[in-house]
Structure 1
Amino acid sequence: MRTGVAVTLIVVGLLFIGIAETGEAAWPDDMWVSGTVVDDNGEPFAGVNITAENTTTGLRYYATTESNGTYNISLPVGSYNISAVRTNYSANTTYQMLNVSENLTGLDFTLSELLGTVTGFVTNGTVPIADATVYLVNAEYNYSANTTIPLGQYEIIDIQPGSYVARAEKEGYLTNYSDIPIVVVRGQTTEVDFNLTAEPATIYGKVMFGTRGLSGVQVQVVSNDFSITAVTDSVGNYTITDIPVGAYTVIFSKEDFISQEFQVTLGATVPTNLDVSLEKEAGTSGGFIPGFDLPHSLMVVGLMLALITLVFALFIRLKVEKRPDLLEREEIEEEERE
């Protein structure tokens, strides 16, 4: 008889455990908890698993949301943790240590799809770059975010899982692509850093002496860690390219002329124009023709004398061709004097 009673109690206990785990039956003294589950857009979310775990006994009770997103669970009086679970989604809340001593309604959940995140830093190798834009692109999706100060950090959230091509770009810098495709995994954060190189700057202009371009002038562009030199052409023009963006001292110098220096900041977007006029040093031999030094002045005078001589010779020849008797008369007079 005692054996039969014991067996009966064991069977009843097992049935009680089974009912608690499946949530398919309710005892007369049980309470009901209910609520609604929606997605990010506020639409009913069907098929979400609702779990209520008794914090004292560890027993779990389950329900699944209906097509309208609602659920109901019958629970014995007690303290419970109630959560909503769906693969690839996360709930906005859980109800912890909830005292169930009466019927409870309004235990609602909002489920958001578990997506990926990509974050990182954009620098020039040492200094953070603010306002750069990082892009993630594949055949279906296109995401982007800007870097912020002071660290040049960016973060792209809510990315659909998949493989993406990543790039970082900013005006004045060369675009940098990731070496390999970026794989985004649900619920995980991927770190991708970029190093941007500034586009090279250009400076150009003309060096004058008086009213003419001055050739052979040395033009130096100098900073603490960079230097480049060019020489003006035959009409005084110069162009220097492939200069890193930044602040520089530009020096113009030529023998017998007063050197000049200028402080400039070179950018990559627009070439910088710098025209200069040099003056002769005191004590150097200047030309007697304005705008020309002595050697060039003498050259001009020599050229003018040559032209005058040529014109005079042509004049004499034309005169003789028209009046040959003049030449004959001069010859007769010379013979008579002899």
Structure 2
Amino acid sequence: MHRYKKSSVTVNIRKAKAGDVDFVSRLMTETLGPFYNGDHRAHARRIFTAHINNNVDSVGQFSLLQYIFIAEVNHHPAGMIHLVVKKQGTVKISPLIVAPEYRGKFGIGSKLLRHAEDFARKHHTRQLYCTVAAQNQATFKFLLRKGFHLAGKAQDHYKPGIDECMLYKPLSQSTTPGLSDISIVPFDEKKHTAATRRLILSQVGSSFYGVNNAWIDTLFAGYRRREGRNVDTKYKLIFIAEQDRKVVGVVGATPKKGQPIKIMPLVAKSETVFEVLVANLPQLLAGYSRKLYVHLIPEPWQIACLQRHGWTIEGLFPEGYALDVTVQQWGLRIKKRDIKKARNSVRSKP
């Protein structure tokens, strides 16, 4: 590797030229081999052919355009990224690689990724996505730090013994809402009962057989048993989201043996309220549990919200609650720091 003083380093990103094919082929073969089966030189030739041929992939079904960009450090090739504009309005990174001798230096990976985001926005797409081997922890953690969300994991996907993680990053403006006008408070039976009942029935009842007034009465009765913290009594915790003194969201939580907590219901009048509830659940329940799970029939925006906050899908239940309806189970492990903070808070109370 060439020795550079940081003050004299110039990092440039440009479109690949025909003479870059050997660099890209070597980089892909050396980097992808441990995690993926297949002929990586042939892969490099194929994407290069599309790039040189006016960026058109003649064999791809969903591929609209393909581009390869090269990162240079003082005019020496140091990394590459291949971007595929998809017909469905997304851009795939496949792959992004920094040459080994340049990793951790000069921010090349970050610059390539920033270039990809600018490229994707220029092409009016809504999302960047990619896959990365779970065992490639350096790249996986890098993408999470850069705002990518884990969509799922496929076992033995491209190579036996290697799991493939699917990640994506929305390109719209930040979806994190302002939280200042929404409060989360413990359920007050005198104050919240009627509005809580109405909200649960309006959002849950039709999709989950058995969720009716009697079910809600049982929820409230379980809340009255909460002081003993005896899981065999099936006690409940209930939290209310308030906005302008009105009930706009409800969380019911049932602690279980082994310290998971089942969240049901989880209802909100808006996307913002749902996000506020999901964002605060770990802190609200850390003193009771090490893990949360919820049963939902989620909308796409709810899935995106859960993934933003680290939840992962754990199971599918066809007709588990109602005919012709598939319920999803999503789970979240509560971080140790949240559990520790909750325990310290309990100890500090007089």
TM-score range, shorter chain: under 0.3
Q: Radius of gyration: which is bigger? A: 1
Question: Normalising by structure 2, what TM-score?
Answer: 0.20
Query: Structure 1-normalised TM-score?
Result: 0.20
Bigger helix fraction: 2
